[in-house]
Chain A
Amino acid sequence: MKKKKVASKIMELINMNLHKNLSFIRNNIVFARKFLRNFCQSRSGGAVTYPEIEDTSYLPTKQRERKKWHEKIKSLSTVEEKLIEVNMPSYYGFRCVDLSEGVIPYDSLNFTQSITRTYFIEEADVQEENPAGVSTKKTSQVFDKLKPLVIDSLIFHHESRIASEDDQEPVSSLVKNLNTLIMAHLAKDAPHLMEAEVDYHPRLEAYWVAGGMEPTYMTRKAKKNFAFMKEYADLPEDRHIQYVGNPILQLRHAEPLPPRSEFDTSKNVDQDIPFFKYDPRVLGLSLNRRHGINIPGFWPGDPCEHSLISYHLCNHLRDRPKVYGSEEHAEALHCQAILASYGWLLPLACYQGFSPFNDVTYPLLTQTVLTDGQFWSFYSYQMNSNKMNSVDDTHKPRHNMCWGTRSLKLFEGVEDGKVIGMYRVLELLLNMYLNKPCKRDVEMKPYLGEQQHVADIDDEERRVWLESRFKHLYSLRPRHRPMPEVYHWEKIYKIDHKTRLLEPKRRPFELGVNPFKKRLDEHHPAYIPKAKRTNKKEKWEKTYYP
């Protein structure tokens, strides 16, 4: 009777995979050994199968851990849960390289291409007088119709530009006006524009991890001081990147744009993408501690979740020093376009169920226009890969592609209320509007479960909790516990020189705690007042972190 009981208990332990709970087996060791031998033999027909032998040295273990986490992100069901999980490692956020639109350091095209793994192709044959090969019968007809209206709009905005001190508002107003005109004139020929959504000044932010740069001074020093970490001191390090865009206007559609080149880009790239090995701070960029935010201008669940066109201002070029030279200024525009395009496509891919750590399975395309009213440049960008981190060596990276024109002049100037020298540059813009999105044959959301968004979750408590937590995280408010700091006097008299040995040790650095390693869920749950409890013993509210 006793043997039967022990056997059933052992079976229970095996089924629950409780490897750590061995005390029960140890207490009944004689019987358990015999039973387990019989059990193993009966299960595998005599031969015992062992788990795969893993390399337990430092690097492979770390890589396995990261990979396991990436697989966890992939397996989560809803978009919002994935986006929260990306932020789970840190309560106060990551130290991100701050990439704000319009702040472009000197000679940063290599850096931009490197962190987005983008291959850039300049379409040199496009001229102002004749947008070669692009002009069709339809575009030229529509352009001729539009021309007087555009001229009116240009004159109006030129005058308001002179009147107002704000340099940007008249341009964004001009762009909105032009968009309305074009949409109205093309609606008959391009019915997909009727279904498109137009957003004015949407919130655009993208977060990813770019890999392979030199370790920082402090990381290297910290590793050098540990005997067993010494050999890893010079290993390349990943950097968190946070892009904050500032689009004037975005057009989006329910279906994606058709790809422009092959998905597997190894064939159509004849040169290597430049690799930037230095710490991004050498360019003058700063680090900022914040949560990684991926938001393409709308909340998850909107039906129009693919890109058509986005407009960005390039007025910042006027503030850049002239000594940089015209060639560098042209490159700065390319930088802005690459970041604006990648920074929109990445959050859009995240809404399809991918993440900065899970690569897309099909290409995504977007079109970007940079303008200051007079000068226009047009870009199209194809995202083939969004996994920029260097954790997995076996991952063979695909390249992203960007095609762009140089800065083209729309008109020579405005004099006496008349536009002088109007070019046919807008035909390129019309072509972008005519580029028709179409349905793909591939599965668009392979990594999303049955419930694709938090709003689909049936359990009300969990749904409400996840929704509010997601929105709170994305609001970027300071955390409930303020960020800890080491005061200057503490650094001098307590850390660098131990002069106050008799004082009680209460601060985190004295207790050996790194507060920035605190995870997102390491906080007290909300307290339920006694009057509101359904179960008298449940003092704390449940949390539903992924």
Chain B
Amino acid sequence: MSTRWYPIYQKGNPQLRVFLPNFWMKLVKPKFNQPPNILQFHVSMEMTRIDVRNYLEKVYNIPVMDVRTRIELGPTRPENLKGYIVKDEDVKVAYVVLPREIKFEFPNLFPKTEKEIIDEETKALKEVKAAYKKFEERNQMRSRLPGWFSF
């Protein structure tokens, strides 16, 4: 982002030169199931449908058939330790329709390594082992006595 505010051009102002646009687009995983040729973006609140189309066509050279936008209401929540209700920022959501031949699948951004998968599978066993070890350490002084036996 180049500036904090989107510079509104007033007549008489010097020519507006924007080297980096205020626009940003974030590809998100769709909340509702969509056909494979529809993408969902979170975009800058100032962007219109035409901006979204131009951004994708001119910068990324993606053929765009149709763009629909809506503004999603930000969630409300009680402020921590204060109790009053605050509201988070709204988000502009853009649905971009690509030509029907194009199939897009949202990528798995954080694929698990083999080690992680094995770790996950053996997690329960490890926990049981650790708990038993802890139990043994705790009862070192009275070994061979059952766990329920105490004074």
Contacts and interface: CB of A to CB of B under 8 A. Distances in A.
Contact of B38 (A282, A321, A323, A328): A282
A319 to B, nearest CB: 13
Contacts of B82: none
A450 interface: no
Contacts of A284: 66, 68, 95
B65 A492 contact: no
Given A282-B35, A282-B38, A284-B68, A107 B85 contact: no
A61 to B, nearest CB: 28
Given A106-B65, A321-B65, A497-B76, A217 B32 contact: yes
A96 B78 CA distance: 36
B119 to A, nearest CB: 29
Given A107-B100, A284-B66, A323-B65, A492 B76 contact: yes
Interface string A89-106: 000000000000000011
A118 B78 CA distance: 52
B109 to A, nearest CB: 23
B3 interface: no
A317 to B, nearest CB: 16
Nearest to B32: A217
A279 interface: yes
Contacts of B78: 497
A324 B65 contact: yes
B31 interface: yes
A275 interface: no
B85 A492 contact: yes
Nearest to B66: A106
A32 to B, nearest CB: 59
A460 to B, nearest CB: 53
Contacts of A321: 65-66
A321 B38 CA distance: 17
Assign chain A's interface to a size class.
10 to 19
B93 interface: no
B97 interface: yes
B113 interface: no
B66 A499 contact: no
A493 interface: yes
Nearest to B77: A497
A278 B35 contact: yes
A458 interface: no
Interface string A297-328: 00000000000000000000000010110001
Nearest to A279: B32
Interface in A467-508: 492-493, 496-497, 499
B33 A499 contact: no
Nearest to B34: A282
Given A278-B33, A282-B34, A493 B100 contact: no
Nearest to A492: B76
A106 B34 contact: no
A282 B30 CA distance: 11
A468 B64 CA distance: 51
A255 interface: no
A217 B31 contact: yes
Contact of A499 (B38, B85, B95): B85
A128 interface: no
A278 B65 contact: no
A197 interface: no
B68 A278 contact: no
Nearest to A325: B99
Given A323-B65, A496-B76, A497-B85, A214 B100 contact: no
Given A107-B100, A497-B76, A499-B85, A278 B34 contact: yes
Contacts of B76: 492, 496-497
Interface in A188-234: 214, 217
Interface in B57-88: 63-66, 68, 76, 78, 85, 87
A533 B97 CA distance: 64
B82 to A, nearest CB: 13
A505 B87 CA distance: 25
A493 B33 CA distance: 31
A279 B87 CA distance: 29
Nearest to B30: A282
Contacts of A496: 76
Interface in A61-119: 105-107
A284 B76 CA distance: 27
Contacts of A493: 85
Contacts of B66: 105-106, 284, 321
Contacts of B97: 106-107
Contacts of A106: 65-66, 97, 100
A248 to B, nearest CB: 28
Contacts of A105: 66
A287 B87 CA distance: 28
Contacts of A328: 100
Interface in B25-73: 31-35, 37-38, 63-66, 68
A236 to B, nearest CB: 12
A497 to B, nearest CB: 5
Contacts of B35: 278, 282
A217 B63 CA distance: 29
Nearest to A491: B76
Q: Which of A106, A217, A278, A281 has the most CB of B within 10 A?
A: A106
Interface of B: 31-35, 37-38, 63-66, 68, 76, 78, 85, 87, 95, 97, 100
Given A282-B33, A497-B85, 20 more contacts: A106-B66, A107-B37, A107-B100, A214-B33, A278-B34, A278-B35, A279-B32, A281-B32, A282-B32, A282-B34, A282-B35, A284-B68, A284-B95, A321-B65, A323-B63, A492-B85, A493-B85, A496-B76, A497-B76, A499-B85
8 contacts: A281-B32, A282-B38, A282-B95, A284-B66, A323-B64, A328-B100, A497-B85, A499-B85
